[in-house]
Amino acid sequence: YLGGAFDVESLVENLLGQLAGNQAILVNVYDVTNSSDHLIMYGHQNQDGDLALLHESKLDFGDPFRKHTMICRYHQKAPTSWTALTTAFLFFVICLLVGYILYGAAIHIVKVEDDFHEMQELKVRAEAADVAKSQFLATVSHEIRTPMNGILGMLALLLDTDLSSTQRDYAQTAQVCGKALITLINEVLDRAKIEAGKLQMETVPFDLRSILDDVLSLFSEKSRNKGVELAVFVSDKVPEMVMGDPGRFRQIITNLVGNSVKFTERGHIFVKVHLAENSKPMAEAKAETCLNGGSDEGVLVSSAHQFKTLSGYEAADERNSWDSFKYLVADEESRYNASINMPLAGETSQNVTLMVSVEDTGIGIPLIAQDRVFMPFMQADSSTSRNYGGTGIGLSITKCLVELMGGHISFVSRPQVGSTFSFTAAFGRCKKASFSDTKKSNTEDLPSSFQGLKAIVVDGKPNGHVFKLPKMILLATNITNAELEKAKAAGFSDTTIMKPVRASMVAACLQQVLGIGKKRQAGKDMLNGSLVLRSLLYRKKILVVDDNMVNRRVAAGALKKFGAAVECADSGKAALKLLQIPHYFDACFMDIQMPEMDGFEATRRIRKMESQANEQINGGSIDEESARKGKWHVPILAMTADVIHATYDECLKCGMDGYVSKPF
């Protein structure tokens, strides 16, 4: 045991100093037995130092009656930690910034989403507006069409009644305007339909040639009045029936030919239809002729008969000249001959692509306007509508239709020379089996008895095939009725066909001139009696003699139904006058019971006239015309209500050929 004296205060201070490190720590020990009155046991009296941070701890001296506590505090206040503050501040600022960025981003996202929703809504509304616009257009057009059709229907009914010539003129003008308006509305509707993608193509079998025939007849009057030649050539390789949309095809052709007719004052309009495969060698042929100095045709003389085209006028596209045409046809024929045993690749495929070109010698399209031609509502010039009519929608619709048919349309045009529009279209091949389903067109088919006949076409510009025919048929572009009669009377020609030449007209004409009718088997005759009647009566001149107006009208009506040209006479005397030789009647229906001169008497006199004329032919002067006509004997048929044998005998006795019963 060692005793020593320590100065506890300084000891503790040293200890604490050692322990405290840098900071000086003040310690106070209190006797806290009496909680309200703390007795200082150790430490300074004055309370200085950092009173904020106090550390209190209990002291146990082992004295049960007394409690002690020790309170430590820093001597000096802790200096403000600038780093901490700055860090905290900076951290705070960074957090703020980040927060702000995130907030900004969130706001942006929300805004973008809102915009997006708004845009979506607007888009829907815009689309709806577009659809509504198309629908509106269609509806309005439809609504306009309804009263328009009513107007046209009424005008048609009006024109059927008795009108004075001024009234008729007014009504016809109104009708023409109405029809033009309807056409315009239809075009607008078509455009709307195309835009809405609602235009659908049919696929039915149809006959190309008959559609071209129809379109030709539509424009034959106009082209004839203008003195413009209109012709169609369909290559032999084009199949008879193809599968496609006949209405739309007709629309395309009508549009192109209509444009040509509108803008052509002289020369020709020539429509050609080939198989598209054959057009390649045609292009090659053109290159050849060009290389071989074919430029002698390039002499820019605008007078006619210089160029080897349909009318002699220069055409815009040299490829379509007579040389390449000849080459093309020869090529087709040679190919056909060669491939009779071997089917060509194209023939076995499902589709047949045709190339159609419409060539005209009109005013052409100015070079600046050429790239705008297929845009809707574009016309070459602002004055075009005024001078030529139309609205400029036709070609854009045509382009859409051609493209819907899987083809392509293009044109070659030279101002003041002409334009040639060409397009390709894909059609399906027609199976043989479906032939029987198709509707036969109204026009007759060329009778098979014509096959093998040959005919010559005499033309100043030899652009046709060579056939031989003893009868003379005049092909006229533009001929008046008087000239026609003169030609016939002078024996210049047996009959006349007005150009454009159509299959149906040729058939009827040849029938009339050659006297070849349809040779059907007996059993088939009864199937379609009206067709037989039509073939018998078509274009025949028939005379109906009856004193009763009602009977005349009924007989004439019945005969006209089958295509006959009927003239009426109200008495035997009038009939005699009309049947003076020479006349052009093919037959005569004669009523028996008529006042003044009855049917028997009239017939007797007519036969007397005829026998006199026949004697003249056989005996004396051999007249050109009469020799051609042969013996005069017009078939006379009696019309009688009482068909008894006695009447029949009487009919035969006076020279009639037969009788028909009344009512007609």
Partner 1 sequence: MDFVNQLQRKFIDYSSSLHREGIVDDQFTQLRKLEDENSPHFVMEVASLFFEDCEKLINNMAIALEQKQGVDFKQIDECIHQLKGSSSSIGAMRVKNACIAFRSFSGAQNREGCLRCLQQLSHEYSLLKNKLQTLFRVSVASRCLYVCLVIFCRENEPAEPFPDVLVFQLEKQIVAAGGSIPRVH
> Which pair of structure tokens corresponds to residue 176?
């023409």
658-661 and 587-591 as β-strands: parallel, antiparallel, unpaired?
unpaired
How many Å apart are CA 113 and CA 111, to the nearest integer? 5
The single residue among 3, 79, 197, 595 that binds partner 1, judged by CB under 8 A, is: 595
Considering the complex, what minimum distance in angstroms separates the CB of residue 444 from partner 1?
A: 17
Minimum CB distance to partner 1 smaller for 408 or for 561: 561
- Which H or E run includes 373? none
Minimum CB distance to partner 1 smaller for 487 or for 592: 592
Mutual orientation of helices 322-338 and 279-291 as an angle, nearest 10°? 130
The single residue among 550, 619, 621, 649 that binds partner 1, judged by CB under 8 A, is: 550
How many Å apart are CA 497 and CA 475, to the nearest integer? 5
Minimum CB distance to partner 1 smaller for 145 or for 520: 145
How many Å apart are CA 381 and CA 394, to the nearest integer? 15
> Which pair of structure tokens corresponds to residue 193?
């339909």
Considering the complex, what minimum distance in angstroms separates the CB of residue 504 from partner 1?
A: 16
Residue 549 near partner 1 by CB under 8 A: yes
Minimum CB distance to partner 1 smaller for 184 or for 506: 184
* DSSP 8-state assignment for residue 406: T
Using CB under 8 A as the binding rule, the residues of this chain from 273 to 332 that contact partner 1 are none
Part in contact with partner 1 (CB under 8 A); list of ranges 45-53, 546-554, 615-623, 645-653: 546-554
Part in contact with partner 1 (CB under 8 A); list of ranges 67-75, 348-356, 359-367, 544-552: 544-552
Name the residue among 225, 176, 208 with its Cα closest to residue 500: 225
Part in contact with partner 1 (CB under 8 A); list of ranges 214-222, 353-361, 532-540, 554-562: 554-562
> Which pair of structure tokens corresponds to residue 357?
């070109």
Minimum CB distance to partner 1 smaller for 210 or for 551: 551
Minimum CB distance to partner 1 smaller for 557 or for 582: 557
Long-range pairs, 143-149, Cβ under 8 A, ≥24: 144/185, 145/182, 145/185, 145/186, 148/178, 148/181, 148/182, 148/185, 149/182
| Radius of gyration over every alpha carbon of the chain, rounded to an integer in angstroms | 53
Taking the C-alpha atoms of 216, 219, 223 and 229 in order, what is their torsion angle to the nearest 10 degrees?
-10
How many Å apart are CA 410 and CA 423, to the nearest integer? 6
Considering the complex, what minimum distance in angstroms separates the CB of residue 274 from partner 1?
A: 31
Using CB under 8 A as the criterion, what x/- string covers residues 133-172 for binding partner 1?
A: ------------xx-xxx-xxx-xx--x------------
> Which pair of structure tokens corresponds to residue 596?
């003044």
Considering the complex, what minimum distance in angstroms separates the CB of residue 558 from partner 1?
A: 6
Considering the complex, what minimum distance in angstroms separates the CB of residue 617 from partner 1?
A: 38
Largest CA distance in the chain: 196
Considering the complex, what minimum distance in angstroms separates the CB of residue 642 from partner 1?
A: 11
Name the residue among 323, 301, 307, 326 with its Cα closest to residue 268: 307
Minimum CB distance to partner 1 smaller for 27 or for 393: 393
On whether the CB atoms of residues 474 and 188 are closer than 8 A, the answer is: no
Minimum CB distance to partner 1 smaller for 58 or for 439: 439
How many Å apart are CA 294 and CA 315, to the nearest integer? 15
Part in contact with partner 1 (CB under 8 A); list of ranges 21-29, 86-94, 549-557, 599-607: 549-557
Using CB under 8 A as the binding rule, the residues of this chain from 488 to 507 that contact partner 1 are none
Minimum CB distance to partner 1 smaller for 153 or for 227: 153
Considering the complex, what minimum distance in angstroms separates the CB of residue 134 from partner 1?
A: 18
Minimum CB distance to partner 1 smaller for 409 or for 542: 542
How many Å apart are CA 190 and CA 199, to the nearest integer? 8
Considering the complex, what minimum distance in angstroms separates the CB of residue 553 from partner 1?
A: 5
Amino acid at 471: K
Name the residue among 268, 285, 298 with its Cα closest to residue 332: 285
Considering the complex, what minimum distance in angstroms separates the CB of residue 198 from partner 1?
A: 13
Minimum CB distance to partner 1 smaller for 366 or for 663: 663
Using CB under 8 A as the criterion, what x/- string covers residues 555-594 for binding partner 1?
A: --xx-xx-------------------------------x-
The angle at the Cα of 163, spanning 162 to 168, to the nearest 5 degrees, equals 135
Minimum CB distance to partner 1 smaller for 232 or for 559: 559
Considering the complex, what minimum distance in angstroms separates the CB of residue 306 from partner 1?
A: 42
φ, ψ at 605 (rounded to 5°): -65, -40
Residue 72 near partner 1 by CB under 8 A: no
Considering the complex, what minimum distance in angstroms separates the CB of residue 153 from partner 1?
A: 5
Q: Which residues contact 366 (CB under 8 A, 6 or more apart)?
A: 380, 381, 415
On whether the CB atoms of residues 606 and 614 are closer than 8 A, the answer is: no
Q: Which residues contact 441 (CB under 8 A, 6 or more apart)?
A: 207, 210
Using CB under 8 A as the binding rule, the residues of this chain from 635 to 654 that contact partner 1 are 641
How many Å apart are CA 355 and CA 116, to the nearest integer? 50
Minimum CB distance to partner 1 smaller for 300 or for 550: 550
Minimum CB distance to partner 1 smaller for 187 or for 314: 187
Using CB under 8 A as the criterion, what x/- string covers residues 180-199 for binding partner 1?
A: --xx-xx-------------
Q: Is 637 exposed, middle or buried (0-12, 13-18, 19+ CB in 10 A)?
A: middle
Residue 528 near partner 1 by CB under 8 A: no
Minimum CB distance to partner 1 smaller for 12 or for 137: 137
Determine the size of the site formed for partner 1 (CB under 8 A).
34
The angle at the Cα of 385, spanning 381 to 391, to the nearest 5 degrees, equals 105
How many Å apart are CA 418 and CA 264, to the nearest integer? 8
Considering the complex, what minimum distance in angstroms separates the CB of residue 520 from partner 1?
A: 23
Part in contact with partner 1 (CB under 8 A); list of ranges 25-33, 178-186, 254-262, 513-521: 178-186
* Binding-site ranges for partner 1 (CB under 8 A): 145-146, 148-150, 152-154, 156-157, 160, 178-179, 182-183, 185-186, 547-551, 553-554, 557-558, 560-561, 593, 595, 641, 662-664
